[in-house]
Amino acid sequence: MPNPVPIPDQTPRLQLRHISKRYPGCLANDAIDLTIAPGEIHALLGENGAGKSTLMKIIYGVTQADSGEMTWQGQRVNIRNPSQARGLGIGMVFQHFSLFETLSVAQNIALAMGAAAGTPKQLEPKIREVSRRYGMALEPERLVHSLSIGERQRVEIIRCLMQDIRLLILDEPTSVLTPQEAEELFITLRRLAAEGCSILFISHKLGEVRALCHSATVLRGGRVAGHCQPAECSDRQLARLMVGEAAETITDYPKVVGGGVFLSVSQLSWHNPDPFGCSLKEVDLEVRRGEIVGIAGVAGNGQDELLALLSGEERLTRNDGATIRFAGQAVAHLRPDARRKLGLAFVPAERLGHGAVPELSLADNALLTAFQQGLVSNGLIQRRKVEALAEEIIRRFGVKTPDAQTPARSLSGGNLQKFILGREILQQPRLLIAAHPTWGVDVGAAATIHRALIALRDAGAAILVISEDLDELFQISDRLGALCGGRLSPLKATVDTRLIDVGGWMAGQFDAPHSPAPATA
């Protein structure tokens, strides 16, 4: 980790003064000040919903501020749209890539740059040169759908670098990368900064901000909570700036060894009908009673498919029923409600629109999965019991809501996730499967959710957690594995596993039982 270079005092590349932006019902940015010097790597830190995305959309011209002023290299500007921003030398890499999968790298870049920049063929030498100069291996002829997520991100970055660029904005760039890929990205970014390009790096991961950035602006609830030099701050100080004084320190939970096997998946292969989806290949997995198994992996490597097959949203034929077993009983052909009767509880990745119906009240959302718990008799809903259950979930899991009649969509992400998890836990499951349980949840709610999972584990339930957050997986799982390209690595006890091992598994470096793992870039 190179020490941050001191930034000489000169005209700032970009200066924001009192930028405010109001959306219906929320003040997304409230009088934000931000200064970025030439060659500086500046971090924009904050929880989900702190206003980071709004601010960078204002800088890139996707949306306009209601008030405040923006100065670009000493001149006042009013950026109305992204093409004007690009004209000034501002480039942006979004979290979700905007690439055409069926076109080649060069064709995608040519499309984005417009006809004046030349044909894809004419651009190829320049693409090669840029990718060599910044250490980003990339073949211009390759079709985008054959590229890994990390390589696609390189296409987006190179697209920005093809023009004369003065400020590069990256929105949570490492959220889709393995730790090794992230380290390669940092090398590129440091080289860019050394050449004088400013970088605005948006993240909520403290470790990487400290490793990469010269300075940081922390946002909380739409306001600037503080400016700091990340290299000189502890994780705790940064976390406190991000979430306020309520920040809980990371707890260590004791690791345990589970009892008898409850969930057993053997040689599960599933062909995905979606040509751009991921197919599962020979997945073997066992989760024992009283343990938490964590599965890491970059999004799109088979997580959604595995979850759908485990929950029963996708089913195999009766003949293949024994591929997935609960306590020895074949379930792979059973519907979700039949699997729930056998002790399954499930927390999907998407809270609104999958785990809960946005328009329905919390009480109705409690009924949604708990209907086999005596809440329905003679086909009629027992309203009083449903209300009682909803109120118990709200009380026991500290869900902040006016009452059980509030529609699910008006709860914050963390509160709704506590409600959904509480709903599943109060059904006393023998197997709980949770996808990304703390994604987009504030630190306080995440700690509550982790404690609840540990308590359920200690009560003897088998728990499977699929997450992209490695810190979370190391914190709560007893055994760990990773998905890559639809294959699951062998599981290993967390205490014997290093972060770098998981990074390798996420990139496919493990011995798959039958065929060699795919090579990585």
Partner 1 sequence: MLLSLEPRGQQSRLMLWCSPLLAAALTLGCGSLLFIALGHDPLLTLHTLLIAPISDGYGVSELLVKALPILLCALGLAVAYQARIWNIGAEGQLLLGALAGSALAVNIIDLQSRWALVLILLVGTLAGAAWAGLTAWLRTRFNANEILTSIMLNYVALNLLLFCVHGPLKDPAGFNFPESAMFSDFSRLPLLMEDGRVHAGVYFALLALVAVWVLLQKSFIGFQIKVLGLDKRAAGFVGFREKRLIWLALLISGGLAGLAGVCEVTGPIGQLVPQVSPGYGYAAITVAFLGRLNPIGILFSSLLMALLYIGGESAQMSMNLPQAITQLFQGMMLFFLLASDVLILYRPRLNVRWARRAPATVPAGAL
Binding region for partner 1 (CB under 8 A): 24-26, 72-73, 75-80, 84, 87-89, 311-313, 335-340, 346, 348, 350, 353-360, 364, 367-369, 371, 376, 379-381
Nearer to partner 1, 111 or 426 (CB): 426
Closest CA to 62 of 94, 35, 110: 94
CA distance 104 to 144: 6
- Taking the complex as a whole, how short is the minimal distance between the CB of residue 475 and partner 1, in angstroms? 27
Nearer to partner 1, 6 or 379 (CB): 379
- Taking the complex as a whole, how short is the minimal distance between the CB of residue 340 and partner 1, in angstroms? 7
CA distance 8 to 521: 37
Based on the number of CB atoms within 10 Å of its own CB, is 276 exposed (0-12), middle (13-18) or buried (19 or more)? Answer: exposed
Helix axes 105-113, 120-133, angle to 10 degrees: 100
Nearer to partner 1, 141 or 359 (CB): 359
- Taking the complex as a whole, how short is the minimal distance between the CB of residue 310 and partner 1, in angstroms? 11
- Residue written as token pair 């979930």: 393
- Taking the complex as a whole, how short is the minimal distance between the CB of residue 453 and partner 1, in angstroms? 20
- Taking the complex as a whole, how short is the minimal distance between the CB of residue 287 and partner 1, in angstroms? 20
Element at 72 (helix H, strand E): strand 67-72
Nearer to partner 1, 423 or 479 (CB): 423
CA distance 353 to 344: 20
- Taking the complex as a whole, how short is the minimal distance between the CB of residue 194 and partner 1, in angstroms? 22
Nearer to partner 1, 173 or 422 (CB): 422
- Taking the complex as a whole, how short is the minimal distance between the CB of residue 91 and partner 1, in angstroms? 14
Q: Is 356 helix (H, G, I), strand (E, B) or coil?
A: strand
- Taking the complex as a whole, how short is the minimal distance between the CB of residue 84 and partner 1, in angstroms? 7
* E-state strands within 229-384: 261-270, 280-288, 292-296, 324-326, 329-330, 344-347, 376-377, 380-381
Bridge partners of 70, per DSSP, are 16, 77
Q: Is 77 helix (H, G, I), strand (E, B) or coil?
A: strand
DSSP string, 196-258: T-EEEEEES-HHHHHHH-SEEEEEETTEEEEEE-GGGS-HHHHHHHHH-TTPPPPPPPPP---
Nearer to partner 1, 57 or 281 (CB): 57
Nearer to partner 1, 90 or 470 (CB): 90
Nearer to partner 1, 260 or 353 (CB): 353
